[in-house]
A and B are shown apart, each in its own frame.
Chain A
């Protein structure tokens, strides 16, 4: 390959900046779309389960049974919507979705409890949303267990045997995201996903547009080199992407309250690397797509694997090894590790260098492929 000429590269940069400035609608979309998506997904992808709708059928009304119901309500996980009589009413409510779970307290609950005999309460759970079902089960178990321990202690005290000392206990403390809020986990991922798609579409469009309008034909008969053209094309978009990234970052931290624990400058530096990678991915798309519509479709086709394989939705550790390898082919995988590391753990470069190398290798790879694919031909 021949020498890289900065003058030619710079001409492309200047031209592209003028065109971006004149194309207000596209610029608007580039800046506003990430924000819109962040708000949209920020609320939609919230997987925390609160306010599980619970109906109660209390067949043994008494102070003790009401106390049990109160225990459920006090966790803020359950919300008692109605009180009913009979399984039919419960089933109807579960069917139509006006209740997620039902708590059934049997007629002899109070009697058996007073006599300190074993007693069961029943919980019916709508399992169609596993997320809700899982949360409901684990919380209900915890509540009932606590209640059981309290009961036993009371019993022993009555018999004058002193306090119950459990021989073994687990004290779990969650680091990095102490309240285990999914939003804290999701927002960094969303930022990465949104940036990937917006920047990819931007560059793909800017090159495919040249094909569609025929300006590429004129450009190809000049001595310009593919590398000069590509880098010249992406340089201004790195700026646009970075600006947009900062906007999204501000909204993520101030609106959604997700703090950045690590170094901002490291975050920005690595984000630039990510932007360059996704912009090159856009160029790669443009070497295949002939029309802007095709480019758009290809960009969308890449969203699904990015979401599924990168660890955005499902933890990568639980994937089969082969699928994990495929995940390594998605730049978002590396960037997610980096984002979550810096956001949640305050990780530094020492902890992230593997992902940085992974992303760098991917970046060079896609650049090479794009250059090889970019023929100075119009076929």
Chain B
């Protein structure tokens, strides 16, 4: 099994606050890795360190074989990233956004034309090319962001809560695309608060207050924790950890 992401003892502190604490995890190539955890548990921070947006305080990690500390530019050329907050240009149209990122990723004219066509189709954005990105509704925006992240055919896709605030139908469509990409061999690291989505991942990592509490396939986790579904596992984990911390505090 070759790995897409591997990190060891990854830690990020903001002043006194430990956002990510000695995190060790492995994402196998070609898999969909669901990164779960309550609000403020450190998911986005972990992802930002892997993308080279933040420098880890301590620890080490590799993404696609490149060191996150020293080779972040090599990493950037090969990954696609969708941040938690919509971060395309709202005052540019769908097409202008795609054109801009195509230029930034140095696609040539032929590639650009072909990729744009493919991705607009994939995201069902046909007919909306001239619409301002800011005027798209939630689901469309997220699919446009995904298209921009895929322009340069990345080997690894990192998605931070791509389906937050998106209606069930659009969510379904979005996940169909994710699975399709995985079938094509792209590795996907995705965070979500929806357990039905997590259920369809190949691997699950569960993080709480910066600590990785559990890792495994969805079925393994359910079997280990003896719950009926992932939601029970999630709640059980949080409760147990909270009780443990209260015990420590007392």
Contacts and interface: CB of A to CB of B under 8 A. Distances in A.
Interface in A5-20: 5, 7-8, 10-12, 14-15, 18-19
A18 B100 CA distance: 11
B65 interface: no
B17 interface: no
A213 B54 CA distance: 18
Contacts of B48: 378
A211 to B, nearest CB: 11
Contacts of A222: 76, 101, 104-105
Contacts of B90: 213
Which of A2, A10, A18 has the most C-beta atoms of chain B within 10 angstroms of its own C-beta? Answer: A18
Given A5-B106, A376-B52, A378-B54, A221 B85 contact: no
Interface in A104-137: none
A220 interface: yes
Contact of A220 (B53, B102, B105): B53
A217 interface: yes
A8 B106 contact: yes
Interface string A281-303: 00000000000000000000000
B53 A224 contact: no
A15 B85 contact: no
Given A213-B90, A215-B87, A217-B83, A15 B53 contact: no
B83 A15 contact: no
Interface in B67-87: 72-73, 76-77, 79, 81, 83, 85-87
Given A217-B83, A218-B87, A378-B48, A11 B103 contact: yes
Contacts of A2: 73
A19 B103 contact: no
Given A222-B76, A376-B72, A378-B48, A213 B87 contact: yes
A348 interface: no
A7 B83 contact: no
Nearest to B89: A215
B96 interface: yes
B17 to A, nearest CB: 14
A15 B54 contact: no
Interface in B26-79: 48, 51-55, 72-73, 76-77, 79
Interface string A1-36: 010010110111011001100110000000000000
B106 A218 contact: no
Nearest to B82: A218
B96 A214 contact: no
A377 interface: yes
Nearest to A2: B73
Contact of A15 (B51, B86, B89, B106): B89
Contacts of A216: 87
A8 B92 CA distance: 17
Given A7-B106, A221-B76, A222-B76, A378 B87 contact: no
A223 interface: yes
Which of A11, A12, A221, A376 has the most C-beta atoms of chain B within 10 angstroms of its own C-beta? Answer: A221
A379 interface: yes
Which secondary structure characterizes the binding site on chain A?
Answer: helix
B100 A223 contact: no
B88 interface: yes
B92 A18 contact: yes
Nearest to A9: B103
Contacts of A219: 104
Contact of A19 (B52, B91, B101, B105): B91
A84 B76 CA distance: 84
Contacts of A23: 91
B52 A15 contact: no
A165 to B, nearest CB: 79
Nearest to B105: A222
Given A8-B106, A221-B53, A15 B96 contact: yes
Given A15-B100, A22-B91, A377 B53 contact: yes
A82 to B, nearest CB: 63
Nearest to A378: B53
Nearest to B158: A221
Nearest to A21: B91
Contact of B92 (A15, A224, A377): A15
Contacts of B99: 11, 14
Nearest to B97: A15
A221 B81 CA distance: 7
Nearest to A228: B104
A14 B92 CA distance: 11
Nearest to B55: A377
A163 B86 CA distance: 92
B73 A379 contact: no
Interface string A194-231: 00000000000000000001111111111110000000
B113 to A, nearest CB: 15
Nearest to B78: A223
Nearest to B73: A223
A14 B101 CA distance: 12
Contacts of B89: 15, 19, 215
B68 to A, nearest CB: 12
Interface of A: 2, 5, 7-8, 10-12, 14-15, 18-19, 22-23, 213-224, 376-379
14 contacts: A15-B96, A18-B91, A18-B96, A214-B85, A215-B89, A217-B87, A218-B148, A221-B52, A222-B76, A222-B105, A223-B77, A224-B104, A376-B72, A378-B48
